[in-house]
Amino acid sequence: MLHRPLEFAKDGHFVFKTPDPIPISSVDQGLAGLLTLALSVLGLAAPAQAAKVPSWKIEVIVYLYTDLTYQDAVSSHRLVGSLVPDEVANIKNSSAGFVNSDIPALTSGTEHPTLRVKSVSRPLDSQTLTADNFGGFTPAPWTTTADQDPGYDSYIVFWQSFGWDWGPMKSDNIAHAGGLTWGRGTSPTFSAIQMPELAYAGRNVLKHEWGHAITFYYDARGTAPKPMVDNHQPDTSVNCHTHNGYLHIDETASNPVPNSIYNNGSGFTHDYYSGVTAQASNPSHCIGITPAAWLSGGPVTKR
């Protein structure tokens, strides 16, 4: 597991930051110069340094409260909900584990993002929640713009969709989709995840929704092989080197299953994050996010 220092930003939000690279000492620089000189005398070229893959900058936005008043065909509603401290801790820990451990593993060590987590106390309401096209509600890229700090490649929103409805006087969940990710071309990516889905699926929901984000982005950018991977179709996908299919199992943190859908070391999500999956109908044509695609960077950190 890769550990990153936890700092506080000026606004009091948590910042998970990758340490700056250790500078080469003057001694090392002198040795490097002598090596280059020796190779030059021998008529040999100095070894080329590998290009550095840009680190995606990810901001997780946590909405602590929900207070939505709306009317449907049956009655008027006012859904009030909030995230309890244990749920906020789960979001922070899950986000850190996803960014610091899962993404580097899923990309076969290619991508190492940075993470910032911020909390918003202003409730989500009728101005910031919109229809999710499944009969429920969700935060959206255009309704939460004010809370998206500039300079990030990717935004992930967590919110409380479950609460007490003071209209019919009963508990309810106003989100009818566990997670949603918008195709935004080459603009910063945006995903929204309801808290009950994180409680149910764990970090798998982050792997899935961010998988949508990166496949949408790199397809729009044109730096990933065509066709774009559909991460709802593991059953029609294979590894492009072995031509073997995947186990259609959603593993859990306590029960990892190699070659399953969400396993960090092998399986469907690993393979399309690493650019080595393929459609079963064309099993030798590797698709997904290749190292060359990762090298082109994200919406903000692009080369």
- What is the predicted pLDDT for the residue at 51? 82
User: What pLDDT score was predicted for residue 49?
Assistant: 55
d(CA 138, CA 159): 9
> What pLDDT does residue 253 have?
84
Q: What pLDDT digit, counting tens, does each position of 267-279 carry?
A: 999 999 999 999 9
Question: Is the Cα dihedral 19, 298, 209, 165 positive or negative?
Answer: positive
Low-confidence ranges of the chain (pLDDT < 70): 1-50
pLDDT at 78: 98
Q: Are 93 and 169 in contact (CB under 8 A)?
A: no
105-141 burial: b if 16+ Cβ within 10 Å, else e: bbbbebbbbbbbbbbbeebbeeebbeebeeebbbbbb
